[in-house]
Amino acid sequence: MKSTKLLLAGTLTIMLVLALSACGASSTPMNANISEPKEATKELTIQASNWEFDQKEYHVKQGEAVKISVASSSGFHGVKINDTSYTIKSNESKILSFDKAGTYEIHCNIACGSGHTRMKAQIIVE
Q: Is the distance from CB of 124 to CB of 57 less than 8 angstroms?
A: yes
Torsion angle in degrees (nearest 10) through CA of 80, 86, 91, 96? -120
Q: Which uninterrupted H or E stretch holds 89?
A: strand 87-89
Q: Say if residue 10's pLDDT is above 70.
A: no
- Domain borders along the chain are 34-125
What's the mean pLDDT when you consider all of the chain? Answer: 82
Instruction: Tell me, yes or no, if the pTM score tops 0.75.
Output: no
Of 121 and 13, the structure prediction assigns the larger pLDDT to 121
Task: Determine the pLDDT at residue 25.
Answer: 45
DSSP 19: H
What is the distance between the alpha carbons of residues 66 and 125, in angstroms, rounded to a whole number? 11
Q: What percent of the chain has pLDDT over 70?
A: 75
Q: Say if residue 56's pLDDT is above 80.
A: yes
Q: Domain 34-125: which topology?
A: Immunoglobulin-like (2.60.40)
21-55 pLDDT, tens digit each:
444 444 456 787 899 999 999 999 999 988 889 99
Task: Determine the pLDDT at residue 95.
Answer: 98
Of 107, 59, 101, the residue nearest 81 (C-alpha): 107
What is the distance between the alpha carbons of residues 116 and 126, in angstroms, rounded to a whole number? 28
DSSP 36: -
Q: Say if residue 114's pLDDT is above 70.
A: yes
